[in-house]
Amino acid sequence: MDATYLLNDEAMQRFIVEGYVTLRSGLPRHYHARMFDALETLDEGGPHGHNNLLPCVPELRIMLDEPVIAGALTSILGPDYYLHFHRHDHYLDTYPDSAQPLHKDGDNHSHHAVDGLRRNQVTRYVMLLYYPQDTPMESGPTGIVPRSHYVPRRQVEALRQEHQHHIGKIRRDVKEELGDQIDDPASQLATRQLYEKKQQVLRLERPELFDAMREADATWESEKIPLVGDAGTVSIVHFDIVHGRYSANISGHPRHMVKFLFTRNEEPREPSWNHTGTVWQIEPDAPEAPAWEYLWNWHKGTPAAPAQIVSPDSSTNLRSEDDRIALGAAYTLGSQPAGLSTLKEAFFADNIGLRTMAAYGLTRSGTAAVPMLLDELDRADASLAVRIIDILGDIGPRAASAAGILVSYAYQAEPNIRRYALEALGLVISHDAEIEQTFLDALSAGLVDEDAIARRNATFAIARLGERANNPETVQRVSDNLYHWHHHVRGWSIEALLRFQDAQAMKSALSYLSSARWDEMPKSGDRPPTPTPMRS
């Protein structure tokens, strides 16, 4: 990669803090007009689009491979990043609509959040957002909330979980009342009317819940900004950034925003951007600054570096209801040997929000937290085991001493434990240390796990290990999974085969891709494309 296109220290620090970087494609305007026209023919609700976007519009890959785009992705995800198999064209028609509720994307494509709340904060996934047309405010651009990607939004999520609890009950009641009729297409109208009636009753019975939800969302709405830009504008955002359509499309013209997902294949070993030795410079007095500094060091490949930024009164602030204050306190406690006992006490609390914050601090503690976590894991029930294993995986190679224990959990009867154990095993052994055969045996067994997500996580782990996991049995099992029903298993299987650096693996991958390729012409007799007129 030409260093000219890599981010510099300031841009990289800004990405860590703000959660996004906006770029401009260098391709000519008629290229973007051609992409717009091609996207107009697709159906995002069916096979002509969505995860088939690239087979349908293969020229989009030219934009993704541009040096300015690849340079930013390399800076953020390392030189061996991977284009994830999930992609989506967010289409907004010309009829008046409204802003979309702010949200973080479902993390099923990256990592299942423990307690429905705790996501991995290190940058293992990003989204790329591309506009093929001019997108001013009138076109309903995507909106994001800067600095929201590390914030768990505990109040918002707690209220939403309470709301979803009531919605679940409504669905069960509707199903019970309608019985077999619920599956009858002729009863769809009656089903919808009954569901809406029960929702109206819920609003009348629990007005305080809906008021609290509106009030909690209002804070985030006030911090939202629009990602406007000309055709060819590309934004790369942290996967967990809070976002949603900023406003209605009142331009009179359709709007496309194509989303691609990219993932890191390896934990950082050294800076992958133009690093000149800069120390952390941005707002060292901000509540989140201890977290920002740690993530800066993580990207540099030095996660165990001593903290220069600490938050005051960390033991007290860990229990703050302000997410940002509690987050900074957790990272400060995690950087201090004396903070481990405070984090341990909080992590084993019944309060989901508190233990979520403590988990981030334990991840920051790294190697120092591993003996305590393993000791507790030895006597944990299934729920607690998942929470502990999740932290060990998030710590990454600094938790390599836990690999042998994780192997035993990869064979547990509880599917959810196997899911997290297989994922964590791939993360803690992802560097150059010699891989024991028992580790590879566990991951290979995961390739035939009856649980699809466990199988996916084993495949993801093997893909990260690449040729170090290459052996005939593993190649065969990964090849067989090219035809698994779950598209995540298929997607990671292709990546694993390509990374094995093995002739048989490459043959299997190419054979599958040759069969699965998409030809947009239904019959022979291709015609040259009609030139796309230049647009002002």
Ranking 46-60, 299-313, 426-440, 513-527 by mean pLDDT, the lowest is: 513-527
In a domain, residue 274? The reply is no
Count up the domains in the chain and report the number: 3
What helix, strand, coil percent values describe the chain, rounded to 5?
Answer: 55, 10, 35
pLDDT in the model for residue 521: 67
pLDDT tens track for 126-179: 999 999 999 999 999 999 999 999 999 999 999 999 999 999 999 999 888 888
Average pLDDT over residues 413-429: 96
| Threshold 0.85, pTM exceeds | yes
Answer yes or no: do 342 and 249 share one domain: no
Write down the pLDDT at residue 181: 77
Do 107 and 163 lie in a common domain? Answer: no
Q: How far apart are CA 133 and CA 89, in angstroms?
A: 13
Q: Judge whether 315 lies within some domain.
A: yes
What radius of gyration do the chain's Cα atoms show? 24
Residues across the chain? 536
Q: Is residue 122 part of a domain?
A: yes
**Per-residue pLDDT at 428 exceeds 70:** yes
- Here the CATH number for the domain that contains residue 379 is 1.25.10.10
Assess if residue 281 is contained within a domain.
no
- Give me the pLDDT at residue 535, please: 46
* 33 and 138 fall within a common domain: yes
Mean pLDDT for the chain? 92
Looking at the structure, do residues 453 and 418 belong to the same domain, yes or no? yes
Does 81 lie in the same domain as 129? Answer: yes
Domain residue limits at 17: 3-148+224-263
340 and 244 in one domain?
no
Indicate whether 360 and 409 sit together in one domain. Answer: yes
Spatial CB neighbours of 178, under 8 Å, sequence gap ≥ 6:
187, 190, 191, 194
Predicted pLDDT of residue 331: 98
Residue 2 has a pLDDT of 82
**Is 276 part of any domain?**
no
Confidence grade of residue 52 (pLDDT, cut at 50, 70, 90): confident
- pLDDT for residue 191: 86
Confidence of residue 523 (pLDDT cuts 50, 70, 90): low
Q: Cα separation of 367 and 392, whole Å?
A: 9
Q: How confident is the model over 24-37, as pLDDT tens digits? A: 999 999 999 999 99
